[in-house]
């Protein structure tokens, strides 16, 4: 081998070693099985900074997200269960992919192309997150995993025609990816063989001080860059109004401590849901690329979560119905206000509100929702 060839070989070896040192990894294990015997897998994505994310094939769900704080201490910031039993007994949408239609459909009814459809009531008089057996409660197929500069896992679910009352065979994929910069993304894609409606989102409960921690999530500072929100009736169905946030408890255009006004009983909107459970109107239409939908900062730990998406709305739920009857992964009870949910999506009950836009999907089209959960550390104030 010539001296030049030797140098090239050495250089290539150095490049390969450097790439390997900065490669994310993927590990798979059995998580348990459903009552019908279906096996559920857990796939863990890890980057070289030590951030670890575990995804379940049940509900294409985020089971854990382990990230460092300002002092370098790691904690799991996503609520969930340590084993399959909890997800079966009391799922609560922990970390789940929700659909076919996330959020609520008034009275479980909608009209599509002149035909009326009824879907199961699962939230009082309304349908919530796809019905009584939505995408969160089914086993998704593990399609592929990959390591490298970005660790990925691809999951697929084929929802049959008539599933929970929805028309058309809907083929959905959820691609989770973890990069070296501390960003976890999920790309939802769906196609159909006949006209239907689709509105997917992710329902992870976040507590940046650590799931089950005594601090809860009400001391975290939230920013939502929205000029308006969607007021609702007493059953959490939007009235159709786009109400300005200015001068209200819904104004998060600048960072605000969540707990400052979450129990403001003078606002009937907060009385309806025992806190926040509303859609913020970040824009009126989808965008070509993800943009900032919300930012959460935990002053104590320094952890920061930025949520980006190409959707026009984000549902903010302040964990109002966590009632202390759920024991989470660290053996702590989950109580009211112990976590928050931020779901980028189309507006709730869009099928019954033409002024909101459309969630109609036709053959030949591809539904898409890209969500990015970007983690970082804020300096001490």
SS3 8: helix
Is residue 317 in a domain? yes
Among the listed residues 211, 220, 297, 343, the single catalytic one is 343
CA distance 192 to 172: 9
Task: Report residue 380's pLDDT band, with 50, 70 and 90 as the boundaries.
Answer: confident
Question: What is the reported pLDDT for 3?
Answer: 52
Among the listed residues 129, 203, 220, 278, the single catalytic one is 203
Length of the chain: 381
Question: What is the reported pLDDT for 184?
Answer: 98
CA distance 206 to 328: 13
Range of the domain at 32: 23-377
Is residue 122 in a domain? yes
pTM of this prediction? 0.93
Measured between alpha carbons, how far is residue 115 from residues 25, 77, 84, 111, 267 in Å?
A: 48, 44, 39, 5, 38
CA torsion through residues 220, 221, 224, 228, sign:
positive
110-161 per-position pLDDT tens digit = 999 999 999 999 999 999 999 999 999 999 999 999 999 999 999 999 999 9
Is residue 17 in a domain? no
CA distance 342 to 103: 12
Task: Report residue 212's pLDDT band, with 50, 70 and 90 as the boundaries.
Answer: confident
- Token couple for 331: 């053996």
Q: Is the pLDDT of residue 12 over 60?
A: no
Is residue 279 in a domain? yes
Beta bridge partners of 221: 257, 297
Q: Is the pLDDT of residue 24 over 60?
A: yes
Kindly report the CATH number assigned to the domain that includes residue 321.
Answer: 2.70.98.10
> Pairing mode, if any, of strands 104-105 and 109-112?
unpaired
| Listed residue (270, 290, 272) closest to 282, CA to CA | 290
SS3 9: helix
Q: Catalytic residue at 343? A: yes
Is residue 5 in a domain? no
SS3 243: strand
339-360 per-position pLDDT tens digit = 999 999 999 999 999 999 999 9
Task: Report residue 18's pLDDT band, with 50, 70 and 90 as the boundaries.
Answer: very low
120 in Cβ contact with 109 (< 8 Å):
no
Of 1-5, 12-16, 131-135, 367-371, which range is least confident? 12-16
Q: To 10 degrees, the CA torsion angle through 204, 210, 215, 221?
A: -60
Question: What is the reported pLDDT for 14?
Answer: 35
Question: What is the reported pLDDT for 16?
Answer: 38
- Report the percentage of the chain scoring pLDDT > 70: 94
Q: Catalytic residue at 203? A: yes
Task: Report residue 258's pLDDT band, with 50, 70 and 90 as the boundaries.
Answer: very high
Q: Is the pLDDT of residue 1 over 90?
A: no
User: Which residues fall within 8 angstroms of residue 218, CB to CB, at 6 or more apart?
Assistant: 257, 258, 259, 262, 318, 337
Is residue 173 in a domain? yes
CA distance 374 to 357: 28
Task: Report residue 5's pLDDT band, with 50, 70 and 90 as the boundaries.
Answer: very low
- Token couple for 102: 């996330």
C-alpha 337, offset from chain centre = 18
CA distance 93 to 174: 16
Domains identified in the chain, total number: 1
Is residue 107 in a domain? yes
What residue spans of the chain are helical by DSSP H? 3-21, 84-89, 268-273
Task: Report residue 4's pLDDT band, with 50, 70 and 90 as the boundaries.
Answer: very low
In terms of C-beta density within 10 A (0-12 exposed, 13-18 middle, 19 or more buried), how is residue 372 classed? buried
Q: Characterize 133-165 residue by residue with b for buried, 16 or more Cβ atoms within 10 angstroms of its Cβ, and e for exposed.
A: ebbbbbbbebeebeeeebbbbbbbbebeeebbb
Is residue 12 in a domain? no
């Amino acid at each position: 081998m010539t001296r030049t060839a030797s140098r090239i070989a050495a250089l290539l070896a150095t490049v390969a070693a450097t790439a390997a040192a900065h490669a994310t990894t993927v590990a798979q294990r059995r998580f348990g099985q459903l009552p019908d015997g279906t096996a559920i897998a857990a796939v863990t994505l890890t980057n070289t900074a030590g951030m670890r994310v575990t995804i379940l094939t049940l509900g294409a769900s985020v089971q854990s997200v382990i990230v460092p704080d300002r002092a370098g201490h790691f904690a799991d910031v996503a609520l969930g269960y340590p084993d399959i039993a909890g997800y079966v007994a009391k799922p609560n949408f922990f970390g789940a992919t929700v659909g076919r239609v996330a959020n609520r459909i008034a009275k479980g009814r909608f009209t599509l192309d002149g035909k009326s459809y009824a879907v199961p009531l699962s939230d009082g008089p309304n349908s919530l997150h796809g019905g009584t057996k939505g995408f969160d409660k089914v086993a998704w197929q593990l399609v592929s995993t990959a390591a490298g500069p970005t660790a990925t896992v691809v999951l697929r679910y084929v929802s049959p025609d008539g599933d929970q009352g929805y028309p058309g065979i809907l083929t959905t994929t959820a691609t989770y990816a973890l990069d070296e910069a501390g960003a976890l993304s999920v790309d939802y894609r769906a196609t159909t063989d006949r006209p239907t409606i689709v509105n997917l989102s992710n329902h992870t409960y976040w507590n940046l001080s650590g799931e089950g921690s005594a601090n809860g999530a009400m001391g975290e500072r939230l920013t939502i860059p929205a000029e308006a929100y969607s007021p609702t009736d007493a059953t959490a169905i939007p009235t159709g109004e786009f109400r300005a946030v200015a001068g209200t408890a819904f104004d998060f255009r600048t960072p605000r401590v969540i707990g400052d006004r979450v129990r403001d009983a003078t606002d009937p909107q907060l009385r309806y849901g025992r806190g926040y459970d509303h859609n913020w109107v970040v824009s009126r239409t989808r965008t070509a690329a993800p943009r900032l939908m919300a930012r959460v900062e935990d002053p104590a730990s320094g952890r920061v979560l930025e949520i980006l998406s190409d959707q026009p709305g984000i549902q903010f739920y302040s964990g109002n119905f966590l009632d202390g009857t759920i024991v989470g992964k660290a053996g702590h009870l989950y109580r009211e206000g112990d976590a928050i949910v931020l779901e980028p999506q189309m507006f709730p009950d869009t099928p019954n509100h033409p002024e909101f836009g459309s969630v109609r999907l036709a053959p030949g089209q591809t539904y898409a929702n890209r969500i990015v959960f970007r983690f970082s550390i804020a300096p001490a104030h």
